Structure 1
C-alpha cells in the first residue's frame, strides 16, 4: 500500500476518495490482473465498476453532469492503478480524452459522449501516432477531406491505447495538408462506422493488459459535426493538453517505481543467503538507501507539480521535465529492484518482472525522453 502520510498535495477528501479507489481495485482489478495480462485487455465489467464508483472522468463539471472534482482525484486513481501493477487505459480516459471532449466539444458532442464516459459505457481513444510518424505529429498523413457536409477520412494509426475497446476515437488528421501543422484537425470516429477497422491487438514487450491497436480508416464518412474543436487548430489543441498528459505519466511512473522498490525490500528481507538475508548485505542496503532517497525527492516533486497544475500554473516545460525525470527514475528503480531479486526477478511469476517490462515504454510514449529535453531546452 502506498504510504501517503507525508504527502502535501492532497486533503482529507482526497484521502477518503483514495480509500474508495483501493476498495474498488481490491474487488474488481487485483483478482483479475493475471487474466488481464493473458487476454491483453481489461474487460468492460471493470470499466463499469469504476464508473459506478465515480472513478471515471471525475473532473467533468457539474454543469456537464459530472462531479466537478480537481485533478488531484485523477492523480489518486493513477497512483493506485500503477501501484497495483496494472496498465489499464483508465488514465487515458480520465487524464487525456476527457479534457478534449469537455473543453472542445459542442453541446451535442458533450451530451452524446460525456455521460457514457463517466459510467464506463463509452470508452475512448485518441489516434495520433502513425506507422511512419512517431513524435513528429506535424508529419501525419491521415487526411479528412470535405465532401459536402461530411469528412472522408483515410489513413492508418498505430500504438493506439484502448484501440480494441474504444467506442469513439479522436482522430488526428490533416484537413488541409498544404498548411502543415496549421491544417491539422481532430475528427471523431465512432466504432462501427463503415470503413473504420481495428487491426490486431499489438504484441508488446510490456503493458500487456493495455489493449494497444492498429486502426485503419478507408473512406470513412463522418458528418462535419464530428469535428472536435476548431478546424485547422488540431495541433494547437494537442499542445494545450500536453502538460496534463505528461504530468499524468510522471505520476504513474513515480507510483510504479515505489511499488518496484517495495517489492525489492520485501523480497530481500525474506530471501536467505549465506546464513542471513539478502537485505543484510551492505550492497543491498546501500542500493535500497539510494533508491529511497530518490523516491523521497520524487514524491516531493510530484506534489509540487500536482499543486501547480491544479492551480493552473504548471508550464509545458515543467511538465516535460516531470515526465523526463520520473520516467527515467522508474527505469532505474525497476532495474535495480529486479537485480536485487536475482534469478527470481527474471521469472514472470514475480511482480517485479511485470513492473520492469511495463516501465520501459514510459520513456517513449507521450513524447520520448529526447523530445522532453528538446522541449525543456526551448524554455532556457
Structure 2
C-alpha cells in the first residue's frame, strides 16, 4: 500500500491521543473495570477519529478505508486491549451497515452523533447459544402496526452498559434462516431494554461487557437498517471491516510485546550474561517480528482489496486467522522469557496475553476462518 502525508498525519494524531488521553489512565480504568466511554469518545470525535471513512455530510472525514486502517493500527499502542476494541466497535462493527444502508433519518439521528462521539453504540449479534453460528440467533422482532416488538437476549456485548443505542440483528420473519433477519437500531432508553451487571472477563477488563435483555421492546419499523430480511447479508459485509480492523489493531500491540521483552531480556542476567544473549531467545524474538510483519502484509492486502471494490472475504479471513494465531503464541512466548516477572498481574505482557486471547474467539473464531478458507479451496466436508 502507498501511504500519503494524510495517512501519516492520522497516524500521528492517534499516537498523540493515545499517549495523552488514554495511556495515563489505563491502569485506573483496568482496576475499575470500565472506562468513561462518553468522555473519551467525545474527545476522539472532536479530532475526527470516529468517522474517518464515514461520509462528510454526517460529520465524517469522507476518506477511504485505508485511512481507518492506519488509525486502528496506532490504537494498538494503547496499554490495554479494551480501548481499541471499544473504538473498533463504534467505528467498524456497529456503524458500517448504518452508514451504507441506513435511511437519511437514521443517519442523522444515530450515525452523526456516533461519529461526533456524542453517542456510544454497540453491535448486538451474539447470543448465549449463537456466537459463531450467526444464523442460529433466536431474538425476534415482530411487526405490530408500524412498529417492531422485540424479544430476546444478546450476550458478550461490548460497550453495552454505556451504549446509547444497539444495532441489533433479529429475526423479522419465519423465512429461511439466512433471509429472515434484519438489522434494527434500538435506543437503550426504550422501555423493556435492560442489561446484566458487567461480566467478569479474563481480559479486556476496562471494556464494559454485558448480557442484554429485550422484553417487548417497541421501536418504529423506520429504525430498520436497509431492507427487511437482508440483515444477515449486511452483517456478513460488516464482518469484513470488523476482521480487517481486528487484525490491524493487534499489529502494534504484538510489536510492543516483542519490544518490551527485548528490553527486559537485554537487562536481566542469568548465569553471568543477559538473557537476550541466549541464541534461542533472540532467534525466537526475531521469528516473532517476522510473523508480525507477515500479518501486516496480509492486513494491508485485505484493506487494499476492500478499498478497490474487490471482495476481501478470503484475504480478511487469512489476516483474521493469522492474528488469532499470533495473539495466542507471541504474548505467551514473550511471557516465558520474563520468567516470574511475567506471571505478575500488572506485567504488560501478562495483560497483553489475557487481552489478546479474545482475538481468536471474537469476530469469527479461528475455526470459522479456517472453514471459510476451506470452502474457497473446495475441501470442506459435504453435508
Structure 1 portions without partners, runs of 5+: 1-7
Query: Contact 1:183 / 1:233 at 8 angstroms: preserved in 2?
Result: yes
Matched, 1:331 2:328: yes
**Which of the numbers 272, 278, 281 marks the counterpart of 1:284?**
281
The separation in 1 between residues aligned to 2:174 and 2:264, in whole angstroms, is: 55
**Which of the numbers 357, 362, 374 marks the counterpart of 1:365?**
362
The separation in 1 between residues aligned to 2:120 and 2:242, in whole angstroms, is: 18
TM-score w.r.t. length of structure 1? 0.95
Matched, 1:72 2:66: yes
Cross-structure match for 2:54: 60
1:280-305: CA deviation from partner (whole Å, max 9, x where unpaired): 11221121122122223222332222
The separation in 1 between residues aligned to 2:60 and 2:100, in whole angstroms, is: 14
The separation in 1 between residues aligned to 2:294 and 2:183, in whole angstroms, is: 38
Q: Please report how far the alpha carbon of residue 84 of structure 1 lies from its aligned counterpart in structure 2 after TM superposition.
A: 2.1
Query: Contact 1:141 / 1:155 at 8 angstroms: preserved in 2?
Result: yes
Matched, 1:24 2:17: yes
SS at structure 1 position matched to 2:196:
strand
SS at structure 2 position matched to 1:216:
strand
Cross-structure match for 1:4: none
Cross-structure match for 2:380: none
Mapping 1:332-347, distance limit 5 Å:
332-347=329-344
**Which of the numbers 207, 211, 226 marks the counterpart of 2:208?**
211
Cross-structure match for 1:275: 272
Which segment drifts farther, 96-105 or 124-133?
96-105
The separation in 1 between residues aligned to 2:298 and 2:113, in whole angstroms, is: 34
Cross-structure match for 2:381: none
TM-score w.r.t. length of structure 2? 0.94
Query: Contact 2:323 / 2:360 at 8 angstroms: preserved in 1?
Result: no
Q: How many residues align?
A: 373
**Which of the numbers 135, 141, 154 marks the counterpart of 2:151?**
154
Cross-structure match for 2:133: 136
**Which of the numbers 78, 83, 86 marks the counterpart of 2:77?**
83
**Which of the numbers 7, 11, 15 marks the counterpart of 2:4?**
11
SS at structure 2 position matched to 1:36:
helix
Q: Please report how far the alpha carbon of residue 178 of structure 1 lies from its aligned counterpart in structure 2 after TM superposition.
A: 4.2
**Which of the numbers 196, 211, 227 marks the counterpart of 2:193?**
196
Cross-structure match for 1:3: none
**Which of the numbers 32, 38, 56 marks the counterpart of 1:39?**
32
1:111-142: CA deviation from partner (whole Å, max 9, x where unpaired): 11122112211111110011111111111110
1:126-171: CA deviation from partner (whole Å, max 9, x where unpaired): 1001111111111111000011111100000000111111101011
**Which of the numbers 176, 180, 196 marks the counterpart of 1:179?**
176
Which segment drifts farther, 215-224 or 18-27?
18-27
Cross-structure match for 1:375: 372
Instruction: Kindly report the root-mean-square deviation, in angstroms, between the aligned alpha carbons of the 2 structures.
Output: 1.4
Cross-structure match for 2:98: 101
Cross-structure match for 1:318: 315
